[in-house]
A and B are shown apart, each in its own frame.
Chain A
Amino acid sequence: AQSVSQHNHHVILSEAASLELGCNYSYGGTVNLFWYVQYPGQHLQLLLKYFSGDPLVKGIKGFEAEFIKSKFSFNLRKPSVQWSDTAEYFCAVNTGGFKTIFGAGTRLFVKA
């Protein structure tokens, strides 16, 4: 069965630290990849997406992610986090069907 694994459930960083959140999926075919973010008290919203082309994709608020097909990974990065990045981050995979699989989420807390 297809699955998405997010390695860290909780991450605590100080402001200006660099961030990398891991995401691995299990599916051998073509995938479409997403990172969603849920800020406290807000709806889930799209951070960035990869469908095809350049494996390094840029999203909102300075986030980027790199698709590495050989590693089945789609890690999220940000060079310098801010207190306002405190949120829960979800990696999601769609394999072309009408179903998107989400990871369990990573809660990020940024200390001011």
Chain B
Amino acid sequence: KAGVTQTPRYLIKTRGQQVTLSCSPISGHRSVSWYQQTPGQGLQFLFEYFSETQRNKGNFPGRFSGRQFSNSRSEMNVSTLELGDSALYLCASSPTSQRGYNEQFFGPGTRLTVL
């Protein structure tokens, strides 16, 4: 099976711009989670989607949003970029779960740099 893919892999934006990141989960996985990874902070949970519904959301401002499509592919959007948004954004997919504790399979991430 192909792994989780994320596009683009690298992105450079300037403050005030917006960005859209894409994630394709492993075939058959319907749960997709997004994380922000920064040095010293580990992975900060952004949100989780299952069957096009957001089931949980982390403590990020409303500038961070996401969605999931019927084929389980997911996008996240960051509007009005700030310097502090520079990070590695990771997508993880998980097998179908009603109990929410399955292991996650991570993509390579999108490295976002905000200038």
Binding site for B on A (CB under 8 A): 6, 9, 32, 34, 36, 43-46, 49, 51, 90, 92, 94, 96-105
Residues of chain B within 8 A (CB-CB) of A9 are 40
Residues of chain A within 8 A (CB-CB) of B31 are 98
A-facing mask of B56-76, CB < 8 A → 1, else 0? 101000000000000000000
B101 touches A32 (CB 8 A): yes
- The residue on A at minimum CB distance from B48 is A98
Binding site for A on B (CB under 8 A): 3-4, 31, 33, 35, 40-45, 48, 50, 55-56, 58, 90, 92, 99-101, 103-109
Q: How many residue pairs at the A-B interface have CB separations less than 8 Å?
A: 57
Question: Which 9 residue pairs are nearest across A and B when measured between Cβ atoms?
Answer: A32-B101, A104-B42, A102-B43, A44-B106, A98-B55, A99-B56, A98-B56, A94-B101, A98-B100
Inter-chain CA distance A105–B35, complex, in Å, is 14
A45 touches B106 (CB 8 A): yes
- The residue on A at minimum CB distance from B100 is A98
The minimal Cβ–Cβ distance linking B12 to chain A, given in whole angstroms, is 20
**B103: which of A46, A90, A99, A105 is its contact (CB, 8 Å)?**
A46
Most interface-central of B3, B42, B90, B100 (chain A CB within 10 A): B42
A90 with B100, Cβ < 8 A, contacts A44-B90, A44-B106, A99-B56 known: no
